[in-house]
Structure 1
C-alpha cells in the first residue's frame, strides 16, 4: 500500500496553514486592534515598496532618453519583490495571502465562516489604513514629483483604462488579478510546505513570485489601493473607475489565491475519504473538525 506522505504530500502545508489560521482567528477577535496594526504595517510596506518601484522606473527612464526602460522594468520588479519578504518576516498581515489561508480553513471547517470573513475585512481595512498613511506622507513631500509622479500617473491611467475598454478590458483585468494572487500564494505554499528550510531560499521564492507579477503586469488589490490613494491625494482620481478596478481585482485575487491555491491544495491533500476505505492507515492529514 502506498505511503500517505506520497499520496498526500501537502499535509504539512495544510497543517501549517490551519495553525496560522488559528492565530489569525484569535488575533482578529480578542486582539483586533493589534491585528489591524499588523495589517496597516503590510499596507505601509506595500506603499513604500511600490513607490520604490516607480522611482526605479523613473530613474531608468531618465537615463539615455528612455532607451533602458526595459532594464528599468526588470530592476523595478525585482526591487518590489522585497515587499513580500518584509511583510512575511515582520509578521504583518496582507489580504491576498490571507485569502488562501481562510479558504483552507473554510474547506476543513475549523473556523466559523463569519470569523473567516472578519479576518479578511479587518485585514483589508488595515491594509487601506497603512497605504493611506503612506499616501498622506507622500502628499507632504516631493517623493512623487517629476518623473516618479508621471510614472505613477501612467500606471493609474493604464489600470483605469481596463474599465473604459468594456468587456474585453474587464476580462483582461480579471485574468491579470487571478494570476497575480496565484503567484503570490504559490510562493506562500512553498514557504509553508516545510520543504524549504533556509531563509534565503524562502526570500528568493517570495521575490521571484512578486517579480513575475510586477514584470508581467498582473493586478494586486492592495497595491492598486495604495497607488490610487497616493495619486488620488496628489491630483485626484476617478473614484468610480478606481472602485470598479478594485472590485474586479479583489474577486480575481480571491480566485487565484483562495481557490486555485487554497481550495485546490486543501482538497488534494484531504486524506479523510481515503482513510475511510483504508482504516489501517491512521496517520491523519489534518485535525478532524
Structure 2
C-alpha cells in the first residue's frame, strides 16, 4: 500500500481543486448527483443496521462503505469540494477564481441534493409499500431522527444553533480528512483504509453532514416526522452547510496547505 508523503498528497489536493473548478457543468452535476445518491443509500443502510441490531456502533462501522464507493468512482460531495477548490485559488493556479469556486459549490450542492432526494423517495416507498401503509421500524426511526435534529435543536435556542454549527464543523473536519486520506495511497486497499477511519468517527459521534441530512430529513417528512421543511432548513441544513464549510476548509484544507505547500522558512541553526 504505497504511501505518499504530505507534500506529495497536498499537491494532489491542489490539482484536484483546480480540476473541479474547470469541470463542465454536465460532469459536475452528474458526479454530484451520484455522490449524493450513494451516500444516502449508505445512510439508509446504516440506520437499518442500527434498528435491526440495536447497536449503533455496527451501523457506524459499516456506513463508510458508501463513502469509499463514491470516491473510488470519482464522484463529488459538497463537503469535499469545500476543502479542495479554494486551494487552487490560494495557490494562484491560472484561471482559478473565487467565482469558479462558488460555481462549483452551487452545482455540487444541487447535484448532491437531487441524488439524496431521489434515494429518499425510493426508500420511503420501500418503507411504506408505496405509501399504502404506515412506515416500518426503519422508517419510523428516520422520522424520529429528523425531529430530534431539528426541533430538538430549536428547543435550546441559540445554544442549540451553536451546538448544531459545531457538529457541522467537526463533521467535515473528519469527512475532509477522509477525502485527503484517499490521496495518501496509490492502492485501492490503502485508500479504503485511509477513508474508513475518519468517516467511522464522524458517523458514530453523530456529527452533522449536510449531504446525509439531505436524505434523512426529506425522508423524515415523507415518513411522518413531526417537523416542517422550514425547521429542516433553518435548524439543520443551512447551519450544517456553514459548519461543514468552516470545518473542512479551516481544519483540513488550510492547515495542510499552509504547512506542506507553503512551508515556513527553516529556523537558523
TM-score range, shorter chain: 0.7 to 0.9
Deviation for aligned residue 1:143: 6.5
Q: Is there any run of 5+ residues in structure 1 with no aligned partner, and where?
A: 1-8, 61-68, 279-289
Query: What residue is the counterpart of 1:147 in the other structure?
Result: 137
Distance 1:271 1:255 in 2: 20
Alpha-carbon contact 1:97-1:257 (below 8 Å) kept: yes
Q: Does 1:129 align with 2:114?
A: yes
Distance 1:197 1:184 in 2: 19
Change beyond 3 A, Cα 1:269–1:143: farther
Question: Deviations 1:71-114 (Å, cap 9, x if unpaired)?
Answer: x2011011111121011111111110111101212322321110
Distance 1:214 1:35 in 2: 26
Query: What residue is the counterpart of 1:13 in the other structure?
Result: 9
So what's the TM-score if we normalise by structure 2?
0.87
Query: What residue is the counterpart of 1:287 in the other structure?
Result: none
Alignment: residue pair count: 254
Deviation for aligned residue 1:269: 2.3
Q: Is there any run of 5+ residues in structure 2 with no aligned partner, and where?
A: 130-134
TM alignment of 1:55-134, pairs within 5 A: 55-60=48-53, 69=54, 72-110=55-93, 111-134=96-119
Question: Deviations 1:231-268 (Å, cap 9, x if unpaired)?
Answer: 22333641121101111111111111111111111112
Alpha-carbon contact 1:107-1:266 (below 8 Å) kept: no
Deviation for aligned residue 1:201: 2.5
2:155 to 158, 164, 188: 164
Report the aligned-residue RMSD: 2.1
Alpha-carbon contact 2:18-2:85 (below 8 Å) kept: no
So what's the TM-score if we normalise by structure 1?
0.82
Higher radius of gyration, 1 or 2: 1
Alpha-carbon contact 1:177-1:250 (below 8 Å) kept: yes
Deviates more, 1:91-100 or 1:14-23: 14-23
Question: Deviations 1:129-150 (Å, cap 9, x if unpaired)?
Answer: 1011112222332369321012
